[in-house]
Amino acid sequence: MVLELYLDLLSQPCRAVYIFAKKNNIPFVVKNIEMLKGQHFSEEVNKVNVLRKVPVLKDGDYTLEESTAILLYLTRKYNTPSHWYPPDMKKRGRVDEYLAWQHCTIRPSASKILWLKVVIPLFLGQQTPPEKLQDAIDDLNGSLRKLEDKFLQDKPFIVGTEISLADLVAIVELMQPLGAGWDIFENHPKLLEWRRRVEGTVGKELFMEAHARILNTNELKNLCVAAPLQTQMKPMLLKMLK
* Contact (Cβ atoms closer than 8 angstroms) between residue 154 and residue 138: no
Q: What domains can be seen in the chain, in order of their start residue?
A: 3-80 (3.40.30.10), 89-241 (1.20.1050.10)
Phi and psi at 188, nearest 5°, equal -135, 75
Q: What is the pLDDT of residues 31-42, one digit of tens each?
A: 998 877 766 666
What pLDDT score does 180 carry? 74
pTM for the complete prediction?
0.92
- Beta-carbon contacts of 45 under 8 Å, excluding residues fewer than 6 positions away, are 6, 33, 39, 52, 56
Residue numbers in the chain where pLDDT is lower than 50? none
Rounded to whole angstroms, the Cα distance separating 27 from 159 reads 28
What pLDDT score does 115 carry? 83
Closest Cα partner for 139 from 91, 83, 177?
Answer: 177
What pLDDT score does 45 carry? 67
Closest Cα partner for 5 from 23, 22, 17, 20?
Answer: 17
Rounded to whole angstroms, the Cα distance separating 77 from 134 reads 43
What pLDDT score does 152 carry? 97
Q: What is the pLDDT of residues 89-141, one digit of tens each?
A: 999 999 999 999 998 999 988 888 888 888 788 777 788 888 988 898 999 99
